[in-house]
Structures are given as structure tokens and as C-alpha cells.
A and B are shown apart, each in its own frame.
Chain A
Amino acid sequence: EPEVTQTPSHQVTQMGQEVILRCVPISNHLYFYWYRQILGQKVEFLVSFYNNEISEKSEIFDDQFSVERPDGSNFTLKIRSTKLEDSAMYFCASSEALRGGSPLHFGNGTRLTVT
């Protein structure tokens, strides 16, 4: 069964450094998402992406964050200057369609630790 893959599984970085989290969505999917989950808290929506542009973003997704689909298969989340509070699990998801009956498929996440 096709799946969403994320790399790396764990990333450790120093405060102020840039990080890029990578995702390969399911190949025929058109809608892409990033979520994050701080340890012990809810899964929070960050951004949705379609047709090479952001379609919606949350308040969390400030100017330090950016997303890109650099080629036909990868979908990346960049944090320009990491803060301690960016430490979290980051999940990528993709969906075939926006129909209410079309589920999101999630990767197993990248654990980002900012020191």
C-alpha cells in the first residue's frame, strides 16, 4: 500500500539554525499538509499546499516557516531560524482530493529537537 515517507526520522539542531524536513507524499495525491505535535499536546495544523502554492496556514506558520515542492515528488518544510519552542514532531500528510470523503494519509513524522 502506498505511504507517505518522511526524512529524517530525528533531527537535532542548535537554536538559530535552519532545518529542512522532507516528505514524499503518495504519488497521485494533489493536496499536501504539514502538522506538528509538541510532546503531550494535540496535533496542530500548520499549512496546506495545492497547485504549488499555500492554500491555508495557521497562526503558528509565521515568517520563519516556508514550504516548497521542489520537484514532482518531494514536499519540504523549512524553518529558517529554529527556536527552542520549535521542538516537536512534524507530520506530513497528503490527500487525493478535497472531497469530504477523501482521507488524509500521514507519515510517521520527524522528531525535531532544538538545543
Chain B
Amino acid sequence: DAKTTQPNSMESNEEEPVHLPCNHSTISGTDYIHWYRQLPSQGPEYVIHGLTSNVNNRMASLAIAEDRKSSTLILHRATLRDAAVYYCILRAVSGNTGKLIFGQGTTLQVKP
């Protein structure tokens, strides 16, 4: 499984944008980039995914580098509720069972 690298922790101020980086230099052409987050005492929650183009949804935006070797999850206005562990995970299209492999993720602290 292709690996991702994320900073262990980041801090943000409430109501400011947050850019969470992820490196995935060994990504294959058919791997999708998924982001999940885990709030305290909850299960992982799907945030967003993309293949090549930037993506927006109600929760966040995903910016994917042209060479696909890195991506950035963007929270446009952080709230205290966004304090969580954020996981960047590659999901292969074929030849496997679709499982996700979680790393340590980035622990985001949001300061009021």
C-alpha cells in the first residue's frame, strides 16, 4: 500500500483557515486520495476524496498537486468542533479489498 506522510500535529485559531498537508510521493496512477477525521471518542468520519482535480464539499476543500505527490486539506474556517485527528489515506482502485490503512494522522488543535 502506498504510504502517506503527515505532520504529527498542527494548531489553528478559531475562524481562521487551516491547511493540512499530506505527502504521497509513491502514489500510483489509480490511487484515490481520501481524507478522514476522528473526533474524540468517535469513529473515523469521511471528509473528502479526489483523484486529480481539486474538490470542494460542505466540509472542506481538497487541493491536489499537479504531479499528485502531495495534497492539502483545507478547512476554510476552523471551529472548535474541527479539533480532531485528520488522516490522509490512499485508496487503491483494484486488486484489493478496499480496506483503508490508517497512519498516525495529524492532530489538529483549534484555539479559541
A and B bind? yes
Given contacts A43-B38, A101-B49, contact A55 B97 (CB under 8 A): yes
A38 adjacent to chain B (CB < 8 Å): no
B43 touches A31 (CB 8 A): no
**Measured between alpha carbons, how far is A77 from B32 in the docked complex, in Å?**
29
A100 touches B100 (CB 8 A): no
A75 adjacent to chain B (CB < 8 Å): no
Chain B residues within 8 Å of A99, by CB = 93
Chain B residues within 8 Å of A50, by CB = 97
- The contact size tier of chain B is 20 to 34
Main secondary structure of the interface of B (DSSP, over half): loop
B101 touches A91 (CB 8 A): no
A42 touches B102 (CB 8 A): yes
A100 touches B30 (CB 8 A): yes
Interface size on A, residues (CB 8 A): 28
B98 touches A98 (CB 8 A): yes
Chain B residues within 8 Å of A93, by CB = 43-44
A98 touches B97 (CB 8 A): yes
B43 touches A107 (CB 8 A): yes
B42 touches A108 (CB 8 A): yes
Cβ distance A60 to chain B, nearest Cβ, rounded Å: 13
Pick the contact of A95: B94, B98, B103 (CB < 8 A). Answer: B98
Cβ distance A18 to chain B, nearest Cβ, rounded Å: 24
Pick the contact of B44: A56, A91, A98, A101 (CB < 8 A). Answer: A91
B38 touches A103 (CB 8 A): no
**Measured between alpha carbons, how far is A93 from B45 in the docked complex, in Å?**
10
Chain A residues within 8 Å of B96, by CB = 56, 98
Chain B residues within 8 Å of A100, by CB = 30-32, 51, 91-93
Report the 8 A-B pairs with minimum CB-CB distance, sorted nearest first: A100-B32, A106-B43, A100-B93, A43-B102, A48-B97, A56-B97, A103-B46, A98-B98
Given contacts A48-B97, A106-B44, A106-B45, 14 further A-B contacts (CB under 8 A): A35-B102, A43-B102, A45-B99, A45-B100, A93-B43, A95-B98, A98-B94, A98-B96, A98-B98, A99-B93, A100-B51, A105-B46, A106-B43, A108-B42
